[in-house]
Chain A
Amino acid sequence: MSIAEKVREEPAAVEAAPRRKRVTDEHGRSVRVWELALRYLLLIAVLALTVGPFVWQLSTSLKGPTEDIFSSPPKFLPSEPTLHNYERVAETIPVWDYAFNSLKVATANVVTNCVGSALAGYALARLRYRGRKVTTLVFILAMLVPVEGIIIAQFTTMRELGLNNTLIGVVLPGCIGAMNVLLMRNAFLNLPYEIEEAAYVDGANVWQRFLRIALPSVKGTLAVVAIFAFMGAWDDFLWPLIVLSDPDKFTLTIGLNYLHGTFANDERLVAAGTIIAVAPLIALFACLQRYFFRGVGEGAVKG
């Protein structure tokens, strides 16, 4: 738990001071011991089910070449832990190049989505112009189109633009998501008009009002858009699989699938590759999870 979170929880702790020793639920009522024990038991069981597979993968990736990874009963701890498999992945496929390609795609996706959907969301929520309703409708329709169904037409469109087999081609179709535009629109709609009116009276033009007043007030939603954009681009499989054909340009997900096909015989290598792909995301998520859960919760309640 971070320091910031502890600080935030302090007022509640002070209120509950008279009975600090007992564990209480969200309403401040005490929880019975056996119920608490049962809860933790269930929580740990689900934990084993959700996180266990990742831990097993990590364990496999650390097992040496002479170690039996197929033993029954299974051995959970490597007897001689080694990082050798990580070196070997890099020797067999250019895994760091793939990771760098994924990073480029994901970063570009974050920037374009934040800028593009903030701009469009602001126009939809705050600006008055003929055609605003039509614009909103366009984004709603776009959100409803199932991407899996139009993927072949996206591919031919990309070919007509001459962008097939490029990283730009990977980024473009999702670079401003209609869903994100509507999320930003809702965030701007929830701001009180009065502040912007004050700025308006002081002579601020529309760009100044957008940049100095509206945008700083919707940081939370912007953070959610950024995290979703990063995860979406880093994790995407179907579209890069279709648009990329040159192994030099593979993103990590496509490269890993390739690794699996070529070296399916050595699970240690595949395991090391998957850990390389998943570790940065878990780290990113662990750092940002507080904003994330708050933002997703807010979005769901408002939506």
Chain B
Amino acid sequence: MRKTTIAGAALGLLLATTSLAQAETLKFLTWQLTEDTYGPWWEAVIAKFEEAHPGDTVEATQIARQDFADTMMTQFAGGSPPDIVHLASFEYQPFAANGWLEDLGPWIDKAGLDLDGWAGQNLCTWEGSTRCINLQYFAYIMGVNTALLEEAGLEIPTGWDEFVAAARALTKDTDGDGITDVYGTGLHLASGNNYINDMLNFVLDAGGSWTTPEGKPAFDTPEMVAAIDHWATLIREGLVPADTTGGDARQLFVEGKVAMRIENPGLAGVIETSASEEMKPNLKLVPSPFDPPVGGASAVITMPSEIPDERKQKVWDFIAIATSPEMQELFSEVVGAPAPRPGSVTDAVLASTPEYGLVVEAMEKAAAAGVDRVPVGLETHYNELASIVREEIQRMIIENRTAEDTAATLQERVSALQ
């Protein structure tokens, strides 16, 4: 009897130990967990995964966006990367180049995941293999203050000439104290790669591109010279607040101090949460005046190459849930922007807000033109490209250089990067 009890206890202990050994905690770092839109979606994906894997948990940690790349790099370099790798689409390339990201091709084939027509997915191909799955693709739209436009007797601009004319008319010192109170538009003029994201509006509209389709720098073309000139005109003429970040420009827009702001679709959410009740009726979203609009992948999901195979299987299960039709539809519904999986925007979601159709239309237009913010051939130099472009434009303004000179200098400096 005693022997049986001991044997039973030992078996119980063994089973419990085995069960504990199988139960795993997957580490997941993201900058979106506390965001009003993305946060609930990630929580739904995690809940679905934990429901399908009893005993397993996902330990999600919020990291500030500005610290995210540093944190991920430190974790990978230290040999303890998170299991579920979430990265911005413009920063995954150095990780892939270093061999830290798994080739997802075999996993995709095994699961039968069809990525045909998946928006922005071409960006995830690194040296012939698929290193990530794109989770977001969006295109820029424009926010306008209709009250200011009406007051100035202006129509909504639909091209560069109308845009700059409107910006000139809308920039005003309303109380005559020598300080401009309302600016025509707002740009990201601080450091960081949003500088070239904002500038890309003008580059694409002028028919230019950072690089050729073969990946060679294309700064010294007449189109790029025109784009640089347009960008510098807004700064030189004081039609934009100086030294602002994109976030500052967006905030000034919802406060009525910037009349037009070309942005990603997240602007709709900011108007909803940050604009005053008096201001809201004046703020309207319209198509970008620039053609084609800036578009691009925004965030990707993948897994590290150096984790055990059984752990990789669980991470893949998580990725499969995130990319499933159910979760992609949920994404389109709660995030307020289309998910990359084709057909993820249902009619009900499309009709949910007046802006949704506008966002989908912009996304389709950008995707059709093959637009992406990350330049071909300079994927691993994206941050440095932004730094060089900003520095040379600043030099152009400070030293009163011409757009041609600046374009030539940029061509030389960017070519040296390669």
Task: Tell me whether A and B are bound partners.
Answer: no
Residues of B within 8 A of A (CB): none
Residues of A within 8 A of B (CB): none
